[in-house]
Copies of this chain bind each other. A is one copy, B any other.
């Protein structure tokens, strides 16, 4: 029983020596049920007994077994997180905020990833999490506009960052206000005198990329301008670089880029072509990654507050878990334009 020899089976190794409720009960000289009461802070235990039990708990280092508890209470206090497997700044930035917010609310996080944002993979991931008894699911950074059969969810509370169509009543969307973000960016350029404003979008299969493009387009049109060229990248600096090389120089005096990393690539491309930033072209990014302020040309950008999105997501999910009606099923958190040195006023061509 007590052999600590090598080659012990995982079974023995995993649970080896973990004290159980009954051990504490024996140690304290009370019943198992009383220990349970103390551990769960229930009433009707004399302070004296409670103290004794607590002493035994401490002495043995007892912690209640989560699986057993989950089995009987049907609650796990776990939240499932489905993320797309990529190391993009956006998707990862909120991750730890998510965990911390969940922790504060008394929930743990079970993580799973999908390689691509297909209905099939999403449903598979949700099932994986359901089996593990998660009480709600957050889908973060998954690309497209998907449809989810309510049957697949069995009323699982769900919060996502990009819109999903579903019959489920327990569903809330939480995201930065992407449209307003790029609108603000366009507006800033307009106010600085720019009239030919291009857009370098993310992969348009991503909802957030499409929305940023929509914001650009809407604002440009509301301002009565002809939209400048629309380019598309894949979020990577490399794709920003390559897309920028294709930009017709005469067609734009400014460009709104869908994320900072593509903006960096674009700036590099413009520079290689002999253009100066911001003199020859103004560039605005999106995200405000930490290094944006410390580029050779500090980057003007639209800051997303990822930790706010994360915290709000957890809050909304827990509301759904607790059965409260969501007041607003589509929540858009504000972004903030951070003006640095990659944008400048445009006074018109002298030619």
A residues contacting B by CB (< 8 A) are 4, 6-18, 63-68, 70-71, 73-76, 81, 83, 85-87, 92-93, 95-96, 99-100, 103, 108-113, 127-128, 130-133, 135, 154-155, 157, 169-170, 236-238, 240-241, 261, 264-265, 267-268, 271, 290-291, 293-298, 306, 321-325
Contact between chains at A111 and B131 (CB < 8 Å): no
Contact between chains at B112 and A99 (CB < 8 Å): yes
- Residue of B with least CB distance to A170: B13
Contact between chains at B64 and A14 (CB < 8 Å): no
Contact between chains at B74 and A14 (CB < 8 Å): yes
A132 in contact with B294 given A75-B14, A110-B108, A154-B18 (CB within 8 Å): no
- Residue of B with least CB distance to A5: B323
Which residues on B sit within 8 Å (CB–CB) of A83?
96
Which residues on B sit within 8 Å (CB–CB) of A238?
290, 293-294
Which residues on B sit within 8 Å (CB–CB) of A100?
85, 113
Q: Would you give the shortest CB distance from A102 to chain B, in whole angstroms?
A: 9
A240 in contact with B157 given A71-B71, A75-B10, A85-B100 (CB within 8 Å): no
Contact between chains at A9 and B323 (CB < 8 Å): yes
Contact between chains at B112 and A112 (CB < 8 Å): no
- Residue of B with least CB distance to A109: B111
Which residues on B sit within 8 Å (CB–CB) of A306?
87
- Residue of B with least CB distance to A235: B290
Contact between chains at A291 and B261 (CB < 8 Å): yes
Q: Would you give the shortest CB distance from A60 to chain B, in whole angstroms?
A: 12
A323 in contact with B65 given A261-B291, A294-B241, A296-B267 (CB within 8 Å): no
Contact between chains at A16 and B155 (CB < 8 Å): yes
Contact between chains at A113 and B85 (CB < 8 Å): no
For this complex, 29 residue pairs linking A to B, each with C-beta atoms less than 8 Å apart, are A10-B75, A11-B73, A13-B157, A13-B321, A13-B323, A14-B75, A14-B135, A17-B154, A17-B155, A18-B130, A65-B71, A65-B131, A66-B133, A67-B71, A67-B133, A81-B111, A87-B93, A87-B96, A108-B110, A109-B111, A110-B110, A237-B291, A237-B294, A238-B293, A238-B294, A261-B290, A268-B294, A268-B296, A268-B298
